[in-house]
Amino acid sequence: MAYTTGIILFALAILISVSLHEFGHMLTAKAFKMKVTRYFVGFGPTLWSFRKGETEYGLKGIPLGGFVKIVGMTPLEEEEEELDERDKKRVFWRKPLWQRTVVLAAGSVTHFILGFAVLWVLVSFVGVTNPAWAESYEHSQNTAAVDVSECVPPEDADADFTCSASDEPAPAIAAGMRDGDQITGVAGQEVTDWDSLIAVVSDLEPGEAVDVTVDRDGESVDLQITPYAAEVELADGTTETVARIGVTPYLDPSIDPVLVAGPIGGIDETASYTGDMFRETFIALGQLPSKIPPLWDSIFGAERAEDTPVSVVGASRLGGEMVQYDQWAMFFMLLVVLNYFIGVFNLLPLLPMDGGHIAIAWFERVRSWLAARRGKPDPGRVDYLKLMPLTYAVIIVLGGFMLLTITADIVNPITIFN
């Protein structure tokens, strides 16, 4: 029940977010006296509506977004409208360039404001992962720097297990390894990061001593360690016996893993977090084409990588998992990430996204300016009909990508806790 509730809540949050996106367009358009005739949440048949002034507001039967109708988004649209002379001055494309830019960007700005507000609440009052702690953890992953366990945990140990005097000392601590040591070699094999350490140690024979080399404050130290046997659960749910030496990734004990900055300090921390998220968003967009082959393979049984894209379906399933395991901070952080991503993606200079309309508007202004500088007549507006093939191509590509991610999220979804 909690899982289903989480899915519904997350899907509803996405719907609200997209509706606010369209509300941002409408609010700024009305502020600039543009003619707005419709604002609806959803698509398809109308379930309920009312008219206030010149605008009809309502709900549609398919809750997959929303739309706002601003008269005259292009000169072509104006020709299709029956307008009196007063209203012709209010159509979108006749307004100043800066006003059109504000209206077109208002949807993405709404996502940014919403994401920032939610993130500020999390950073200020709830707590988020401390960036300094995350950096320390990443360093340990990249260098095989380790924390040394005090004992060998029993097979039924849970996450809250603590060692006692009666427990067997872990091999690493018994051999003299210290917290912060960076393992560089095991049994004659080079170790460069945490993954290579796990791979090498897992192939060892439990109970047989091996030579281990560590870097301790710039000095190479040789140790001899006898690994123990441990049961680990594989991705398919089966277990396997592997060797372990009793180490975990190194975490600086002076750094609190959770950051709660308070309402004032939360502003700077939220801005810093936002900058990091924007950078990661642009990196993710650049890597998107390379994620398509593994996404396709996952549909046909290959393991689903955690860094592959997800659709609204996949994001909602993740939200359901987070509610199921009472991870509300993660739930809202996922909403923040999604809002920032949608906001940035929508500003890409491609039709039919808002960024495409902004790019065309500014192209027209630059082209007119250059023509005037050269003493030539104004070339006028861009012919949107000539851009329709490109627009349809973008729609087909995006539609195919959406279908691919939805399929993968149904047959082979990403999970966090299972």
Question: In this structure, what token pair is assigned to residue 173?
Answer: 């601590």
Taking alpha carbons only, the member of 74, 73, 69, 44 closest to residue 59 is 44
Instruction: Choose the catalytic residue: 22, 155, 240, 269.
Output: 22
> What is the C-alpha separation between 146 and 225, in angstroms, rounded?
15
Cis peptide before 352 (omega within 30 of 0): yes
> What is the C-alpha separation between 16 and 267, in angstroms, rounded?
24
> What is the C-alpha separation between 398 and 406, in angstroms, rounded?
12
Grouping H, G, I as helix, E, B as strand and the rest as coil, residue 57 is: strand
Which residue's structure tokens are 């996405």? 14
> What is the C-alpha separation between 162 and 338, in angstroms, rounded?
38
Grouping H, G, I as helix, E, B as strand and the rest as coil, residue 316 is: helix
Give the burial class of 387: count Cβ atoms within 10 A of its Cβ; 0-12 exposed, 13-18 middle, 19 or more buried. middle
What residue type is assigned to position 63 of the chain?
P
C-alpha dist (Å) from residue 181 to 214, 248, 254: 6, 11, 16
Is there a catalytic annotation at residue 22? yes
Instruction: Give the residue numbers marked as catalytic.
Output: 22
